[in-house]
Structure 1
Amino acid sequence: MKVKTNKELINKIYNEDSRNLLNILDINIKIKSTITSPPYFDMKDYGSENQIGFGQNYEQYLNDLQIIFDKIYSITEDDGSLWIIIDSFKRDNQVITLPFDLSNKLKESGWLLQDIIIWKKDKTVPWSKNGFVQRKFEYILFFTKSKNFVYNKDNVRTFDTNQLKKWWVKYPERYNPKGKALDEIWEFPIPVQGSWGDQYIRHFCPLPKEMVSQMIELSSSEDDIILDPFTGSGSVMFQSAVMKRNYIGFELNSDFIKMFDNYLEKTFSNSRKEYELIDNLKGQSDFELQILNLRILKYAKLLIRDLDKQKINYFKIFVKNKGKSEIKNKLIKAEYTFVGEFKNVDDTLANINELILKPPFSKFGIEPIITFSNNIKVFKNKNFGYIKSNSYSFQKGIDLNSEKIRIISDICVDFNENDYL
């Protein structure tokens, strides 16, 4: 019998029981990330014989899931991962903690539980019953094969300034320049029927494509292989294809597979174009530069604040962004030229060096270059002035030589904090 190559095995959904996945896949094939939502125990009949969940008792159900994820573990790359979307349910007047029962089973197989995320949504399956509060969330269990795993957290940070608290402008040191990190609650509404288009399948538990995209982005790179052993509507497979990943799925219901193939054929081209047009990296780069520039200017403002308390003669600070720092734990280099008459430059420099080793200065990620000058030439159209109390909005209509101007820089920022709610 001819052994299929990896290229022949990928980018398809198999109409097979995922308990037999190693009979289909070559042991040498390597999965980067598995993203799936297993059947909801016996609460939904997915229309196939010998299906997992429906018609089984709870122990049989858990054992079958363990068998599947144990096999997936064996073909997962060492830095690979597993995402499981799953929920608790109620039986015999008590809550059955399925997410945690399954987690304990998977730990026996070697999977490491790294995170428990709450998926907040409008409604869930199973539906509310007597004694249950209204259900609006499910659990997302994130496992890895080893302690060294792919987790591209910088790729999914929030850098849309309209979604940040308004004080990001005044306190840039509190934000990672790459953006705000994900938290443990993800808000994605369940797709309504028809939201994927009239051609797409009506499935019990469709997953939001934005949420699936986030998981794919976090745990894989282009050309990696994504697996879903319970493919269902195929949302994981579709997003994998759109995001230039390879995919493998298993699904017992052949009607679901036909609908997926039809949908992929009709919508893939436009969806891929949308993916390629999203210029996230440029937007993130812009945000990073804004945060670093705000940090550089605020650093100067704080230097003025602390040195003014020490009754040092009047001075201004001329500020320049000098590019990326090569020092560990420093993000950016900035030159701070102190312009004024200083009685003893050595003593002032020693004072500054003592200050910048301590918080808040040590928290800014700035490698400062400190220089002194009696005078410095400024250019009206190239330099911008900032007052002592505001380093996030340059002053308009004020001469740069005015005593009100304490910071002069070729960095131009002009933010109104009230614009960012």
Structure 2
Amino acid sequence: MRMVDIILKKRRGLELTSEEIEFFIQGYTKGEVPDYQAAAFLMAAFFQGLTPRETGDLTMSMARSGDQADLSSIPGIKVDKHSTGGVGDKVTLILGPLVAAAGIPVAKMSGRGLGHTGGTIDKLESIPGFQVTMDNQNFLQQVKRVKLAVVAQTGHLAPADKKLYALRDVTATVDSIPFIAASVMSKKIAAGADAIVLDVKVGSGAFMKNSEDAFSLARTMVEIGTSVGRQTVALVTDMDQPLGFAIGNALEVKEAIETLRGNGPADLRELCIYLGTEMLKLAGIAEDELVARRKLEELLSNGGALNKFKELIEAQGGDPEVVENPDRLPGASSVYPVISDIEGYVREIQSEQVGVVAMWLGAGRATKESVIDLGVGVVLKKKVGDYVKKGEVIADLHVNENKEIAKVADLLRKAYVLQREPVVAKEILLGKVTKESI
């Protein structure tokens, strides 16, 4: 078997065999297939597309390219959750403790962020002492004991995906639905969960900018999960404005704690309940949505979810006192209010622009080598549908050292689009894809 023949076959629009896909993935992971041939394959597949069977085979080959977690020693149905990413997305910090408190074992492997703000792991590291690495034995024991562990994903989990993503990034082949689906699902399958709930974001602050592409991606990922025996559900959710109010690592942890107290922003709370409902159903803990929702709302109101978060922090060496006193988290040296120079109803908030502001303040990484400032970020004061008076504060910038703060504030101001007529905000949940509705 030769790589050049596989490239030529795909360039002609023919369907590859499982063996040919395996040859490519294993060869590229081991360094036997050079970058220039892998790049040629990616471009051929980008234009010719992949069939559902090819996409499934690509996913499983990538999942087999490295370590595969064995969670079979943990009792119960293990349900994982994945978000395609958005601005202000601190859902895992809330959802993990919430569903663990309901009795679902959550063995979560998360990544670091490259872009607007840190990933889940960076946010957790803003908690003093919190350890995001542990060996496999302690990881499994903690999930058995606490029902929850969140650790940094190792480079040995689906290493083919890491190599391929870096190549896709420099060959203009990132925005391919089969490639995106295979990238996400290979890591989820390798992570060992029995069932997967996907949060597919769509809008100005998401990778998918329109609903058609978002639902196509959701269907592809559900199809892959189903084909390999994983119960999989995808929710398509709105990202035309940041999720919640806080954008920035410690700021998002504070907002997560407030939500776990039963308060927090309505959109963030509602999204966590929607996702949690699907997780409870897949785990067999609730027979329908009404029972699941009631259980989750009860855990938010009675302190069960908050106590589970505290238990997680303590188990992983963090300071549990941050739950009662969030001011123990890293903070910024100053807060700069952003004043609106016009008035009207907020029609939209350009999420990506807000994310860029947060990154400029130091909350995110422009490159893999960038060092995150855990205390800085943005706290919005107005969301879509709110009325803004001229001279009113629309957001606070939490700043350490930044000599161009006026320019940054102006960029944030321009992210707000106002109009004279009242506006009704979109529902956070735009749709659901299951194996029955693919």
Query: Does TM, scored on the shorter chain, surpass 0.5?
Result: no
Structure holding more strand per residue: 1
Decide which structure has the larger Cα Rg and report it.
Answer: 1
Structure holding more helix per residue: 2
